[in-house]
Amino acid sequence: MKLLQTEISSGINSYLSVIERDDAFFKAPFHFHPEMELIYITESFGKRIIGDNIEPFNEGDMVFIGSNLPHIWMNDEIYYTHNSHLKARAIVLYFNKEIFSKGFYEMKEAIKIKEFFSNAEKGIRINGNTKEIIGQKLKIVLNKKDFEKVIGLFEIIHILSQSNDISFITSDGYNAQLKHSVTDRLSEVYKYVQQNFKENISLGTIANISNLTPQSFCRLFKKRTGKSFVEYLNEVRISSACKYLLDSDWSISEVAYNCGYKTVSNFNKLFKNITGNSPKIYRAKSKQENRN
């Protein structure tokens, strides 16, 4: 999976754009661009890669992506079947930070906005009440024209810069400004893990994909993500296991097998280490929350 550099502003001849996506599945490749991006998933599910992080996404997922932070949304396999009637819908706001002048960023009144844009280089999850408010604002801005759209942008970034309903997406050690050749190597690894996490993945195979020796790959991966490859692989597998536990009637052993684990005892141990609960308790708690 090659990492593509794009530029939204030149394509639409504007520093600001709000669009509504309505497709059979999300089609954009793994890419980055100078524009900041606010994405609100209104209908869809799958996994998203932002920087060095892979997480599931569902309807209601909202994230803010800073300049030049690599990202991709990938729908689950069912979206690509011939008779699938599922839809991938989202509202996406793009804007170039150059829409505001240097003088704007030097204003004391803009300190929190400047700080928010800086933090956005890590990718930002938007949760809670803020997500509900911004979701409604995006639907309104979608239908605005001319300068009313700019006013809508001001309102949205002001709310986001003041909110505590946010968390960072990439790891502390991740550097979004990687050399393209290095990022390409890791993007190939992310893609391979996404497609093959159910299989036995050896370090030799992964190192070969990145065109590095096993030792060099381990050093690079640890340096860029702040974790070992095995830790990362387990996070991907357990993330998928959480979805299977909620969305299927598979037994615990079936979930373990379909997530790449050969023994249930090892799966149970890793699941509890990562989530804080055993698979059985996690499923029971989730079902109870849904009933409430």
Residue that is last in its domain, among 168, 189, 222: 168
Asked if 127 contacts 165 with a C-beta cutoff of 8 angstroms, the reply is yes
Region 179-199: mean pLDDT is 72
Answer yes or no: are the C-beta atoms of 161 and 111 closer than 8 Å. Answer: no
Q: Are residues 66 and 157 in the same domain?
A: yes
Q: What is the pLDDT of residues 6-19, one digit of tens each?
A: 554 444 446 788 89
HSE-CB at 249 with a 13 A cutoff on CA atoms is 0
Q: What are the tens digits of pLDDT across the range 203-249?
A: 999 998 888 899 999 988 887 777 889 988 988 888 888 878 877 88
More confident residue, 177 or 132: 132
- The amino acid sitting at 165 is D
The reported pTM is: 0.60
**Same structural domain for residues 160 and 274?**
no
pLDDT recorded at residue 162: 92
Determine the pLDDT at residue 253.
Answer: 94
Is 184 a domain residue? Answer: no
Give the H or E element holding residue 165.
none
Same domain, 249 and 287: yes
Q: Do 22 and 148 have their domain in common?
A: yes
Q: Are 170 and 186 in contact (CB under 8 A)?
A: no
Instruction: Give the domain CATH number at 204.
Output: 1.10.10.60
Looking at the DSSP bridge assignments, the partners of residue 132 are none
Q: Is the pLDDT of residue 37 over 50?
A: yes
Residue 176, in any domain of the structure: no
The DSSP H or E segment spanning 91 is strand 88-95
> How does DSSP classify residue 46?
E
Q: Are residues 23 and 90 in the same domain?
A: yes
Q: Give the separation between CA 16 and CA 26, rounded to whole angstroms.
A: 21
Residue 290 has pLDDT above 60, yes or no: no
Residue 176 or residue 170, greater confidence: 170
Calculate the average pLDDT of the chain: 84
> Which domain range does residue 109 map to?
4-168
Q: Is 146 in the same domain as 239?
A: no
**Are both 158 and 269 inside the same structural domain?**
no
Query: And the tokens for 177?
Result: 């400004």
The answer to whether residue 182 is domain-embedded is: no
SS (H, E, C) 210-274: CCCCHHHHHHHHHHHHCCCHHHHHHHHHHHHHHHHHHHCCCCHHHHHHHCCCCCHHHHHHHHHHH
Instruction: Tell me: do 82 and 219 sit in the same domain.
Output: no
Residue 144 shares a structural domain with residue 10:
yes
